[in-house]
Structure 1
Amino acid sequence: MQQNKLIVSCHRALIGAISTKLRGLTVKLEDSKLYWKGYFDGEPTEEEQDAVSTACTEVLADFPFISSLEEEYVNYPYPQKMDMLQFWVFLRWEEAG
């Protein structure tokens, strides 16, 4: 049940925050720690990274029991294979490479 609430929270927070360079965003909730990892197709601009980071902050506001966060944004150009943490909250369509 908690996972479903987290997915909905992430989707709501990401509305208007996804740039064309964002390939995927994966998260994992483990005890009271949230892992949040964004894969970008090229180096993200400060604005692109800030938009996704703001979405992360909005998700944290929905879950007061989360006491720690590991937030990471990586330049990971297509067609490199991305690793999923627990589940994807955003995944761009890409042709099989």
Structure 2
Amino acid sequence: NSNVDIMDWHGTRGCRDHGILVQAIIAQLRQAFDGGEPVGVLAHHLVHDESAWLFLERLFTVTAQTEACAWLPIRTLVRRGAGRAIPG
């Protein structure tokens, strides 16, 4: 599931404010720590503006520096959601 959408569809139709996005991710992480599911970030690469690309670049840079975050490959995510629909 994608819990945090980086795009502001009802306002600027560009990337949401970076501070608000960080707060949203932190809120989702708190729920995950309390027994929820992993946090998903929804990205729409075809409509990204410069701010969206910058946010994702910063997010990946910061989270790559800690063992507390693990970005899962798409193959793993699809297997979890579709009961091993992709062989391998």
Q: TM-score scaled by structure 1?
A: 0.28
The structure carrying a bigger helix percent of its residues is: 2
Q: Which has the larger radius of gyration?
A: 2
The structure carrying a bigger strand percent of its residues is: 1
Q: TM-score scaled by structure 2?
A: 0.30
User: More relative contact order in 1 or in 2 (CA 8 Å, sep 6+)?
Assistant: 1
